[in-house]
């Protein structure tokens, strides 16, 4: 993938990558990206100089072939909409091994391109000691296949500066909430969007 896909993507989609210097060359990293298309992981993986281990929806494994492909690309399944302790342990193990964990904080695609709300517990991985959290903005992938039509849309991936995850004196649940909010605000900045955390009832 790293040998072939970036060149093909540049040729077909004008693929451009920005901010690679923000990614640490070693150590545990959380890459937190917006999510606008099922093909986001391919472009994000091509953009990152280190292999990304993605938390991917478990539905992909319903197809043995597709499940095998995404697994070879470094992904592991997570059951959406429920507390999946196995996937949490897998994510924490990746960070303990000082590798790169890729997450989509919104939990599902926002095909309009507008940011949604973070899923519960997003800040859990970033709150671990020594973990560097990098926001990543991807644009254009939602236009490649739209309304049943294929387009050669321009795709950009931008890695932002590390997010401050220090929340002194806060309990773990509050720390997770604050970190999740900071991640979404950093993504909004990279995308040039306005965003705010919806309170209960909004």
197 located within any domain: no
49 has pLDDT over 90: yes
**CA dist list (Å): 111 to 13, 28, 38, 146, 193:** 18, 30, 10, 9, 15
128 located within any domain: yes
User: Residue 41 maps to which CATH number?
Assistant: 3.40.1130.10
pLDDT in tens, 16-34: 999 999 999 999 999 999 9
153 located within any domain: yes
67 located within any domain: yes
What is the domain range of residue 50? Answer: 5-191
68 has pLDDT over 70: yes
201 has pLDDT over 80: no
133 located within any domain: yes
Measure the CA–CA gap between 106 and 103, rounded to whole angstroms: 9
196 located within any domain: no
Q: Which of 32-36, 41-45, 198-202 has the highest mean pLDDT?
A: 32-36
202 located within any domain: no
200 located within any domain: no
């Amino acid at each position: 993938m790293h040998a072939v896909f970036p060149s093909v993507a540049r040729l077909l989609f004008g693929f451009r990558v920005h901010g690679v210097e923000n990614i640490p060359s070693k150590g545990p990293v959380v890459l937190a990206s917006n999510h606008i298309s099922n093909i986001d992981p391919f472009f994000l993986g091509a953009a990152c100089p280190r292999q990304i281990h993605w938390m991917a929806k478990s539905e992909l494994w319903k197809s043995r072939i597709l499940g095998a492909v995404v697994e070879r690309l470094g992904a592991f399944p997570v059951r959406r909409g429920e507390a999946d302790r196995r996937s949490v342990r897998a994510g924490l193990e990746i960070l303990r091994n000082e590798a790169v964990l890729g997450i989509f904080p919104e939990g599902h695609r926002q095909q309009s391109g507008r940011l949604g709300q973070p899923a519960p517990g997003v800040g859990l991985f970033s709150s671990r000691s020594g973990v560097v959290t990098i926001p990543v903005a991807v644009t254009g992938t939602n236009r490649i296949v739209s309304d049943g039509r294929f387009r050669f849309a321009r795709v950009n991936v931008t890695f932002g500066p590390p997010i401050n995850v220090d929340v002194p004196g806060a309990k773990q649940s509050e720390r997770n909430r604050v970190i999740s909010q900071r991640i979404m605000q950093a993504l909004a900045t990279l995308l040039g969007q306005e965003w705010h955390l919806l309170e209960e009832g909004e």
